[in-house]
């Protein structure tokens, strides 16, 4: 397989990086922790003005009609800055669900609202034990006994739950399903929910790679500034090895994520396996980065004042969303041991017979 991002995709990611570098600062993240919603309408409007909420929405509904390949870079950039806004949940996961529902007045209008930044949409999926961001959602898409329902948040009751990551807003949701709320039966909803799971896991994997790079950058900067015995601690070989291990794990995970993005974009028959592989590789890299960055910082790494904790907590929280490691290892194992996935060099590199 020969895969590279083209100039337009790289340019789009660079534009988003410059935007977030200015707007999505650790100071803003800390400030949002203290607000009632933990979310910023001004920031969401800014994302919409830059077209981020419209990335996955079809052009017929006012969107950009781009694919998961573009998201592979955008989501990594988004993860690097640790933004708390549910952009990927709405603009990638929920938009993908809406796109595959039959055309209707409410569905088409909601897609346009998502594209223009007028609506956040929360998907309540059985892969996640708790609902996220229902307090700011315009619409809820909820699974119940395999069917999919459209629910008005005003008609629900919810109870807030604590998370290790103060940026996350989790809820126990109480709502009443009915024939009026059902938008897809069990058979129609099954492939839609399966693809939503793949989108969610892919979004987490991409953010994890961004967080890996951020934590690595923080650790490198600290090791260059912190001195002991008259030398920067980064000059000691033991610390170099710690950071090099993270860099290697990160580089090995990047092509795996790109493969998952291409599989999603092409609706590859084995996309679930590629997505699970990407999440496993990205989570492993991010967790190693968090652990080694903490060792580089020493005791000060545990303090509330350092920005390192913002990104470490996000790593810890995201690692178990959209399927934990046991779930994704089982998907990969079932595909390989069950002969569902063709293996070998010819399959890996798409070699053609001469």
**What is the per-residue pLDDT across 32-77, written as a single tens digit (0 to 9) for each?**
999 999 999 999 999 999 999 999 999 999 999 999 999 999 999 9
pLDDT at 177 over 70: yes
Q: Residue 259 burial (CB < 10 Å; 0-12/13-18/19+)? A: buried
**The pLDDT value given to residue 3:** 73
Quickly name the fold that domain 189-348 has.
Butyryl-CoA Dehydrogenase, subunit A; domain 3 (1.20.140)
**The pLDDT value given to residue 354:** 41
pLDDT at 2 over 90: no
**How many other β-carbons are positioned within 10 Å of the β-carbon of residue 15?**
14
Token pair of 116 as six digits: 């223009």
**The pLDDT value given to residue 337:** 86
Q: Residue 184 burial (CB < 10 Å; 0-12/13-18/19+)? A: buried
The predicted-structure confidence for 330-347, as pLDDT tens digits, reads as follows 999 998 888 666 666 666
What are residue 172's DSSP bridge partners? 159
pLDDT at 351 over 70: no
The strands making up 170-174's β-sheet, listed across from edge to edge, are 131-132, 170-174, 157-161
Report the predicted TM-score, pTM, of the whole model to 2 decimal places.
0.94
In percent, the amount of the chain with pLDDT more than 90 equals 84
**The pLDDT value given to residue 338:** 81
**How many other β-carbons are positioned within 10 Å of the β-carbon of residue 288?**
20
d(CA 4, CA 278): 17
- Distances in Å between the alpha carbon of 201 and those of 53, 93, 207, 345? 19, 10, 10, 26
Give the closest residue to 200 by CA, choosing from 285, 300, 327, 102. Answer: 327
Average pLDDT over the chain reads 93
pLDDT at 223 over 90: no
The string of DSSP letters for 8-76 reads HHHHHHHHHHHHHHHHS-HHHHHHHHTSSSS--HHHHHHHHHTTGGGSSS-GGGTS----HHHHHHHHH
d(CA 212, CA 224): 18
Confidence of residue 4 (pLDDT cuts 50, 70, 90): confident
Helix then strand then coil, % of the chain, to nearest 5:
60, 10, 30
Token pair of 87 as six digits: 């952009």
pLDDT at 298 over 90: no
Confidence of residue 227 (pLDDT cuts 50, 70, 90): confident
**The pLDDT value given to residue 353:** 46
Coil, helix or strand for 264?
helix
d(CA 246, CA 290): 9
Average pLDDT over residues 128-135: 96
Confidence of residue 229 (pLDDT cuts 50, 70, 90): confident
**The pLDDT value given to residue 239:** 85
Residues 6+ apart with CB under 8 A from 246: 212, 215, 216, 219, 285, 288, 289, 292, 293
- Terminal alpha carbon distance of the chain: 16
Average pLDDT over residues 149-162: 96
pLDDT at 352 over 90: no
**Structural domain spans, the chain:** 189-348
pLDDT at 234 over 90: no
Distance of alpha carbon 347 from the chain centroid: 28
d(CA 128, CA 112): 27
Cβ(210)–Cβ(88) under 8 Å? Answer: no
Of 13-27, 179-193, 228-242, 309-323, the range with the lowest mean pLDDT is: 228-242
Residues 6+ apart with CB under 8 A from 101: 107, 148, 183, 184, 192
d(CA 324, CA 330): 10
d(CA 219, CA 24): 20
Distance of alpha carbon 44 from the chain centroid: 17
**The pLDDT value given to residue 1:** 54
């Amino acid at each position: 397989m020969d895969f590279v991002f083209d100039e337009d995709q790289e340019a789009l990611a660079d534009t988003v990086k410059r935007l977030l570098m200015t707007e999505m600062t650790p100071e803003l993240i800390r400030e949002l922790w203290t607000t009632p919603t933990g979310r910023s309408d001004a920031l969401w409007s800014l994302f919409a003005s830059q077209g981020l909420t419209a990335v996955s929405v079809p052009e017929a509904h006012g969107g950009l009609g781009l694919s998961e390949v573009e998201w592979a870079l955008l989501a990594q950039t988004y993860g690097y800055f640790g933004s708390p806004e549910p952009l990927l949940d709405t603009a990638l996961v929920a938009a993908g669900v809406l796109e595959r529902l039959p055309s209707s007045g409410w569905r088409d209008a909601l897609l346009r609202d998502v594209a223009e930044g007028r609506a956040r949409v929360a998907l309540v999926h059985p892969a996640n034990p708790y609902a996220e961001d229902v307090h700011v959602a315009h619409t809820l898409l909820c699974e119940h006994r395999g069917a999919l329902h459209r629910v008005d948040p005003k008609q629900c009751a919810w109870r807030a739950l604590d998370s290790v990551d103060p940026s996350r807003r989790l809820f126990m949701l109480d709502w009443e399903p009915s024939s009026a709320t059902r938008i897809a039966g069990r058979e129609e909803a099954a492939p839609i929910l399966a693809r939503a799971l793949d989108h969610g896991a892919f979004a987490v994997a991409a953010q994890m790679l961004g967080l890996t790079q951020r934590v690595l950058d923080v650790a490198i900067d600290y090791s260059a500034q912190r001195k002991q015995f008259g030398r920067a601690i980064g000059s000691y070989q033991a610390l170099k090895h710690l950071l090099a291990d993270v860099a290697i794990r990160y580089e090995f995970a990047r092509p795996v994520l790109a493969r998952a993005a291409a599989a999603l974009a092409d609706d590859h028959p084995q996309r679930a396996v590629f997505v699970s592989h990407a999440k496993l590789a990205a989570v492993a890299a991010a967790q190693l980065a968090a652990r080694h960055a903490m060792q580089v910082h020493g005791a000060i790494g545990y303090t509330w004042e350092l920005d390192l904790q913002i990104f470490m907590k996000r790593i810890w929280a995201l690692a178990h969303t959209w399927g934990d490691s046991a779930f994704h290892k089982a998907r990969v194992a079932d595909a390989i041991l069950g002969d569902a996935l063709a293996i070998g060099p010819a399959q890996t590199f798409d070699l053609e017979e001469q």
